A and B are shown apart, each in its own frame.
Chain A
Amino acid sequence: MKNSSSYTAIAYLFLAPALILMGIFTFWPVGYNTYLAFNNYSIADGVATWNNFEHFKYIAQEELFHSALKNSLLYLLVVPVIQVAALVVAKLVNNKLPGMTFFRAAYYIPVITAISIAGVVWANVYKYDGMLTWLMQTLHLVPQGPDGQIDWLGNPDIALYMVMLFTFWKGIGYYMVLYLAGLQAIPAEVEEAAILDGANAWDRFWKITVPMVKPTILLCTLLSTIAAIRAFQEIIVLTRGQADTYTALYYVYDQAFRNYNFGRGAAAGLVVTFFCLMLSAIQFRFFGEKK
């Protein structure tokens, strides 16, 4: 007969391997990063000195950081689009028609493609005389010849949205799989009962599917929000921050690895984290379980 405290001890024992790894590779760096945000840190001497919020004051007045933060927040536009699309695609591939496995795999391939390789391919799609321009010209959506050649990643008015489209393409499969798991957990009887009651497909989607995958919606929305706000890799492979696509995390990277000012980079990173937490809290309110 075991008592509850020994159960707790055993539980922690099972958790220990993961906790130790996370402690070393996640919690410790996050904690140290937070500490650095309030200090002047010299790598050469390894000395950190308290600086009275100097980094925060600096980035509060830094117009480049403001516009970078604006771009990161703008990037959130991709979240609702990718979530709705992923749910719809998941619904479409969640049937037993022949060949469905092919579609599921096809949607997932971009997820497992290395971002650097996908970036090279998409740079050619977006090149002014690349595939997208060709397609638009073939469909007569833009003028023929050099006049219709659009530098998709070089025009500051559209470049960020083009990068978002890349993120959409790269990420949709990931959320589709999560939604698929959520959809398959819905008992068939519920839907069958609704059909017998005369509910149409639209009603069934909104009244049954959406409410029943709500926990998955919360999870996916959280994940894609965090991914959007820390958009960096797609920027570095496609535009390197040119044409008004500079994001907050790019600023963090520049401060840390171009200026070697790790304290300022950490402070900017902390501001990004603050926005992530705030948005997560809002999402929990909307989609979370009511107690």
Chain B
Amino acid sequence: MKLKRTVALAAAVFAATSLNALAAGKVQVEYWSNSLSPKFDSVMKDLTGKFNASQTEIEAKWVDVPWDAFQARMVAAVASGNVPGLVNLPKPWMDQYAQSKMIVPITKQASGFKNVYTEGANKDASYDGQIYGLPWYQVTGVLFYNKDLLAKAGVKEAPKSFTELMQTARLVKEKTGVAGFAPKLNDGFTGWFLYEGLPVIKDGKAVFNSPAHVKLVEEFAAAYKAGVFPKDVFKMQFEDQIAAFGSQKIAMFAEGAHALKRTKTDSPKVYAETGVAGFPQAGGKTPFGGFLFLWSVPKGYKNVDAAVKLGKFLTSDDAQLAFAKASATFPSSNKALDDAYFQAGAKSADPVERATSVAATAIKASRTLTVSGLPDEATMNKKLDDEVQAAVTGRKSAKQALDDAAAFWNGKLASK
């Protein structure tokens, strides 16, 4: 018995060392996902295993880095020259890293297969005319509404345009006393300009103080004043919106389909009363709340081709579909999006399933609404957001606020 165990142990050690020896001859590509562990461990391990089984020369090693630590780890890695092969970045970070040359362009490597991705995703993958990322999963905003509150306000159908949405929100406030809508404002206001199709910068100058921009901000200010938006709308983050919707403090909000999973467990009654619609498109021809994650190659990584090969696998139709199913997000490749899975919930009574099918239809047009390439991004965005907040909360006129912010931006842009 004892002998048997010793032999088994020796065999295991031998197997492990020979596997290591085999692996030693391979190019190891470490890749960092962004805040996926432990929830999505199984699908990530599965994908890593599948890739490794298909390769003779490359071995992928998956590492998950929490959201809060990601940027610091990335900076430290690039500064020390000890970088992973791929990093998973949301679109705004990709732009910032591309701007500071912390990731490398992969236009040449990706040119052969970039057509598998949606048009919106391919646009997001570019910075300054070069491809810096391979599009992976994405989310887009769908509109969740409390059917009960809308009915009390005399509204029978979900709003079809942004104007209708604001009118509905106002009616809900007037008839029920509940804030009608909580627009996402904690990430800044430029996204709302872009959603409306209003330019932020034109010919190297800030142009967000035109009458159309002023009108949009005034519309938000009027809604805020009337209590149509909650008082702390500028502070509301993902979790806060879900909590407010679950406790019936807001009647409508826009988020990815995954957001409602919390409502299902925390507020089953509200969940049962939840209606889902596509977030209406405006002049920007895209829903609000699109957010794409991409795989990029950090500067200093030696085996760019091997890294791109892994990226190509992770963003392939099958791999994207597997991840999307596990996470209630969406793939960014055309074929995966056409999969029957995403339309299966179109007639379902379950809000999450229905939201999934609604979003799948909208997502091909979805863009990440962000302004990049600014000379002092942190300060410029801060100034604009402070001014807009002052205008919306009624401390300043919209015109004055936008004029002040535009003057500040133009000062920075001129000294670029």
Contact = CB atoms under 8 A, between A and B. Distances in A.
B3 interface: no
B90 to A, nearest CB: 14
A265 B405 CA distance: 23
Nearest to A41: B79
Interface stretch (A106-114, A216-224, A251-259, A278-286): A251-259
Interface size class of A (residues with CB under 8 A): 20 to 34
Interface string B299-331: 110000000000000000000000000000000
Interface in B230-260: 230-232, 234-235, 249
Nearest to A149: B231
B101 interface: yes
Interface in A51-96: 62-64
Contact of A154 (B78, B235, B378): B235
Given A64-B379, A154-B393, A246-B382, A260 B231 contact: no
B100 A151 contact: no
B79 A153 contact: no
A137 interface: no
A31 interface: no
Contacts of B79: 43, 46
Contact of B232 (A45, A146, A151): A151
Q: Specify the main secondary structure of chain A where it touches its partner.
A: loop
Candidate in A146, A246, A257 with the most chain B CB atoms within 10 angstroms: A257
Contacts of A46: 79, 81
Interface string B74-102: 01001101000000000000001100111
A212 B78 CA distance: 53
A246 B231 CA distance: 20
B173 to A, nearest CB: 11
A260 B389 contact: no
Contact of A257 (B71, B385, B389): B71
B382 A43 contact: no
A64 B79 CA distance: 28
B102 A254 contact: no
Nearest to B72: A257
A128 B232 contact: yes
A209 interface: no
A215 interface: no
A2 B319 CA distance: 73
A44 B78 contact: yes
Contacts of B389: 242-243
B57 interface: no
B114 interface: no
A241 interface: yes
Contacts of B249: 129
B81 A154 contact: no
A260 B75 contact: yes
B377 interface: yes
B75 A257 contact: yes
Nearest to B99: A260
B383 A43 contact: no
Contacts of A241: 382
A65 to B, nearest CB: 8
Contacts of A64: 379, 382-383
A241 B186 CA distance: 11
A239 interface: yes
Contacts of A204: none
Nearest to A150: B231
Contacts of A62: 379
Interface in A239-279: 239-244, 246, 254-255, 257-261
A127 interface: yes
Interface string B94-133: 0011001110000000000000000000000000000000
A233 to B, nearest CB: 12
A258 B377 contact: yes
Contact of A254 (B231, B234, B378, B390): B378
A43 B71 contact: no
A105 to B, nearest CB: 30
Contacts of B408: 63
5 nearest A-B residue pairs (beta carbon): A258-B378, A254-B378, A44-B101, A128-B231, A260-B100
Interface of B: 71-72, 75, 78-79, 81, 96-97, 100-102, 186, 227, 230-232, 234-235, 249, 299-300, 376-379, 382-383, 385-386, 389-390, 393, 395, 408
Interface of A: 42-46, 62-64, 123, 127-129, 146, 149, 151, 153-154, 156, 239-244, 246, 254-255, 257-261
Given A154-B234, A239-B235, A259-B96, 6 more contacts: A44-B300, A62-B379, A64-B379, A242-B389, A254-B379, A254-B382
